[in-house]
C-alpha cells in the first residue's frame, strides 16, 4: 500500500499520547473520504488521506506505529525514481523496502474520532495558496510560525500578518502579500443577498475584516438554489 511520504510528521510525539503517536488505518473512511484511508493527528492538526488497500488488509480500524511509517519513508528517501513509501498491512505492519523488511505489531489504543470535526457543506470561499511561499513569508516576517490570513471579497492577494499573541507589538507592523494560484472562488451563500466581508477600521487605523456568520436561513436558501440548478441541468 502506497502511503504519503511525510504523514508521520503530523503524529503526536509525546509518549503519553500513544494513540495519536500512531497513524490510523480505517477501511471505512473518515468524513468525506469514504474509502480506506490513513488518519494522523497530534490534537492540533490532522490529515486524512485516501489509500488503495492491499489484499489482506484489516477490515477494521488499526493503529500503525509511527516508527513503521518513518522506516517506510526513509527507505525511499533519495530514490532516483521518486517512488512513494510502501507499507504492507497483511496481519502485521511490514516496511518491505526498508533494510531487512522490519515488522511491527499494530498499536493498541482508541484513536480520536475526527469525522465529526470535519466541516460539511459548501465553503464560502476557496483560495489556492502555495504552502512553501506561505512558510517563507512567515519566516521573513519573524513570526515564528504563526500567521494571520486576511481574505477580502472578490479575487486578489491574501494579506499575511505576523501573529504574536500580543507579546510582540512590533510584529503588528509587518505584513506579507501572497497571490493565490488562480483567482479565489467566491461561493454565494444567499441567492438574494450574498454575505460580504465589510472592512472596519481598528484603533490603529488599519482596516480589519469583520467576521460574517451565515444564518440558518441563508444556508437553507443556498442549498435550495443549488438543488434547483442541479434539477434544471438534468432535464433534457
One digit per residue, the tens of pLDDT, for the chain of length 236 reads: 898 888 888 888 875 666 788 899 999 999 889 899 999 988 888 999 999 988 888 889 999 988 999 999 888 887 777 788 899 998 888 888 888 888 999 887 788 888 888 888 887 777 888 888 888 888 888 776 678 888 887 777 888 887 766 555 556 678 888 887 765 555 444 433 333 333 334 444 444 433 334 455 555 665 666 667 666 666 55
C-alpha cell at 5: 511520504
What's the pTM value of the predicted model, to 2 decimals?
Answer: 0.66
Find how far residue 52's CA is from the centre of its chain. Answer: 20
Q: Which domains does the chain have, with CATH numbers?
A: 7-117 (3.10.150.10), 125-232 (no CATH)
Burial of 104 (0-12, 13-18, 19+ CB in 10 A): middle
Amino acid at each position: 500500500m502506497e502511503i504519503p511520504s511525510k504523514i508521520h510528521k503530523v503524529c503526536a510525539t509525546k509518549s503519553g499520547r500513544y494513540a495519536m503517536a500512531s497513524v490510523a488505518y480505517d477501511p471505512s473512511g473518515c468524513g468525506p473520504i469514504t474509502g480506506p484511508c490513513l488518519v494522523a493527528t497530534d490534537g492540533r492538526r490532522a490529515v486524512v488521506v485516501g489509500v488503495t488497500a492491499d489484499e489482506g488488509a484489516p477490515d477494521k480500524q488499526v493503529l500503525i506505529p509511527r516508527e513503521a511509517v518513518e522506516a517506510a519513508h526513509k527507505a525511499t528517501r533519495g530514490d532516483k525514481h521518486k517512488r512513494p513509501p510502501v507499507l504492507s498491512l497483511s496481519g502485521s505492519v511490514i516496511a518491505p523496502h526498508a533494510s531487512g523488511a522490519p515488522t511491527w505489531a499494530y498499536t493498541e489504543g482508541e484513536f480520536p474520532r475526527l469525522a465529526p470535526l470535519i466541516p460539511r457543506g459548501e465553503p464560502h470561499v476557496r483560495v489556492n495558496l502555495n504552502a512553501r511561499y506561505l512558510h517563507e513569508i512567515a519566516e521573513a516576517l519573524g513570526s515564528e510560525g504563526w500567521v494571520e490570513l486576511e481574505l477580502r471579497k472578490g479575487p486578489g492577494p491574501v494579506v499575511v500578518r505576523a501573529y504574536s499573541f500580543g507579546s510582540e507589538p512590533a510584529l503588528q507592523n509587518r505584513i506579507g502579500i501572497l497571490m493565490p494560484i488562480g483567482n479565489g472562488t467566491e461561493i454565494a451563500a444567499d441567492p438574494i443577498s450574498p454575505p460580504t466581508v465589510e472592512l472596519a477600521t481598528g484603533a490603529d487605523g488599519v482596516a480589519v475584516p469583520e467576521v460574517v456568520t451565515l444564518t440558518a436561513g441563508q444556508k437553507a436558501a443556498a442549498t435550495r438554489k443549488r438543488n434547483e440548478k442541479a434539477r434544471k441541468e438534468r432535464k433534457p
